[in-house]
Amino acid sequence: MSILVTGCAGFIGFNLCQNYLKSHSDLKKIYGIDNLNSYYDVNLKKNRIKILKKHSNFIFKKIDIKDKNKLSRFVQDNSIKIIIHLAAQAGVRYSISHPKSYVDSNIIGFFNILEVSRKNKIKHLIFASTSSVYGYSDKFPLSENDNTDKPVSFYAATKKSNEVMAYSYSSLYKIPCTGIRFFTVYGPYGRPDMALFKFTKSIIEDKKIELFNDGKHVRDFTYIDDVSNSIIKLITKIPSYKIPYNIYNIGNSKPEKLKSFLNEIEKNLGKKSRIISKKLQKGDVYKTHANIDKLVKRIDFKPVVKIKTGIKKFIEWYIDYYKIK
């Protein structure tokens, strides 16, 4: 069965494709598309694609999901039956200054994905959402049944829109849809705008780190392999309800303060950071903590990689990738 991964040059998309190709050697083809935009280092994205192209059964095409005609032709020409939609404009803080980018990619782009799914009778659409949809909450851990009507960032608002749009298409056109709310994913080949990458880079280069809220806010850091392996297991778990729609949290369910996360990076680098303290930024929440009971029940999900191990693996990758001496 032909699978399409959108955003395959992105952090999660790349790791998903890599793990899927390694674990499914009998797979005929996995198709990947990405627009290779400049939100962060394009060379990092291109290098991810180079690695994926080493697999003979991986096919890449540069396509922007905003281009409905190219997207539609590609899906049709390659008889795609499963779409794993990870392409998006990411980043809470960037959405404050560049909201239109989020409308273009996360609303219009996602509408195009839904339309292509409808017209090509896609058997399963898996799409990325985010823990940010929960907004401010004082009830933890966060469950899929909790209210998500008050997102505090525009990024979260567009992702909540995706969930509602997908639900309506599942209801109207019986397209099986599975949404995934990611909780602070980290690991090798990560995004340069995320804390782990930024902190590591700044400490190595002896630059000051902007630490918001004195690092007291709490995140449910989830290692990339735990995330990608969960998505792979969900591919065959196609919703078959009257309205064929489901949504899951994917998190480690062991939240940590950002300051503790930073301390672990310092230990691995053998070097202390230089900190500039700042107030919590607009759009950020104080805490995330995933209730993963639903995912455990569905795919027997068990987060494997602990934070100490995950940070160590990232720093080893970073030093090797950037040839740090």
Q: Are 27 and 2 in contact (CB under 8 A)?
A: no
Q: Are 16 and 6 in contact (CB under 8 A)?
A: no
Q: Which residues are catalytic?
A: 155
Q: For residue 31, list its beta bridge partners.
A: 4, 59
Q: Are 94 and 88 in contact (CB under 8 A)?
A: no
The pair of structure tokens assigned to 138 is 């004082």
Burial of 25 (0-12, 13-18, 19+ CB in 10 A): exposed
d(CA 148, CA 144): 9
What does the DSSP 8-state code read for residue 132?
G
d(CA 168, CA 170): 5
